[in-house]
Amino acid sequence: MTVLSVNINKAAVLRNSRGGCDPDPVAIARLALAAGCHGVTVHPRPDQRHIRRDDVLGLPAILDGAELNIEGNPFAPPREGYPGLLELVRRVMPAQVTLVPDGDGQLTSDHGFDIEGDLSGLSRLVESFKQDPVRVSIFVDAGVSGLARLARCGVDRIEIYTGPFAEAFARGNYNRELDACRRTACEAREAGLGVNAGHDLSQANLGSLLDAIPSIDEVSIGHALFCESLVGGLEVTVGRYLKILGQGRIGS
């Protein structure tokens, strides 16, 4: 069964844009879990543009058996307000850490690791993370090769970057990108690695991905899910305000 991990970064973006505490990302995570999702994903960045250290520290208390997945760049050094990915992981002991090669200047994660060029550095870092009982996943591009090397250095899973697939799906011609995802998933399985997928997945394209790769262990979805929630829940919320104002629709 493929499980759903809800990425709550967008709740923190909204909070940070105004200041204050609303919406509280931990409270949003609790709602997502109550709705039935299997886990929560956060991606704390050193520039603290969305999820912050204190958000991460508040999540274990609400999980009640669900999984926490922390994403981040393991090469990014600590700075004020950000203790570093390894330290955060050791503080909260998530079920999974996903290593992502993003820099401060990136709007969002937009590529996977270069396995050939980054392997030696990744191997040392994976060893550090594996000192604790944490599942380690590596963010990779669809179509990448050399996944057996990741397995040999202790990696447990890969997460396939599905951005190009989602873009191609929106254009209506996505067979090449979907095939790249399928081939990468197959190579990962042959190497003994689990397979996650994420980035720009949505209600529109997720079914096609799973039809092609039913063995995906986990999908992490944030941006599209919150956009869809805003649209899908807006009518209900506006109606509730109108009821308070005495203007509710008959029968609503």
**What pLDDT, on a 0 to 100 scale, did the predictor assign at position 24?**
97
Q: Can 159 be counted among the known catalytic residues?
A: no
Q: Which 3-state string (H, E, C) describes 67-113?
A: EEEEEECCCCCCECCECCHHHHHHHHCCCEEEECCCCCCCCCCCCCC
- Interhelix angle for 175-190 vs 163-171, to 10°? 150
Model confidence, pTM: 0.93
Torsion angles phi and psi, residue 70, rounded to 5: -105, 125
Catalytic residue chosen out of the listed positions 159, 177, 199, 218:
199
pLDDT per residue of the chain (252 residues) written in tens, 0 to 9: 999 999 999 999 999 999 999 999 999 999 999 999 999 999 999 999 999 999 999 999 999 999 999 999 999 999 999 999 999 999 999 999 999 998 676 667 767 788 877 778 889 999 999 999 999 999 999 999 899 999 999 999 999 999 999 999 999 999 999 999 999 999 999 999 999 999 999 999 999 999 999 999 999 999 999 999 999 998 887 888 788 778 755 454
pLDDT of residue 252: 47
Among residues 50, 71, 177, 187, the one annotated as catalytic is 71
What domains can you pick out in the chain, each with its CATH number?
A: 3-221 (3.20.20.70)
Cα 205 to Cα 215: distance, rounded to the nearest angstrom: 16
User: Does the CA dihedral 180-101-196-232 come out positive or negative?
Assistant: negative
Residue 108 phi, psi dihedral angles, 5° rounding: -155, 170
Kindly state the tokens that stand for 134. 């944490």
Q: Which of 43, 50, 177, 218 is catalytic?
A: 43
Neighbours of 233 (CB within 10 A): 10
What pLDDT shows up at residue 102? 80
pLDDT score recorded for residue 246: 83
Q: Is 199 a catalytic residue?
A: yes
Task: Report the 10 Å Cβ neighbour count for 105.
Answer: 6
Confidence at residue 117, expressed as pLDDT on a 0 to 100 scale: 75
Nearest CA to 72 out of 28, 90, 177 is that of 90
To the query of whether residue 71 is one of the catalytic residues in this protein, the response is yes
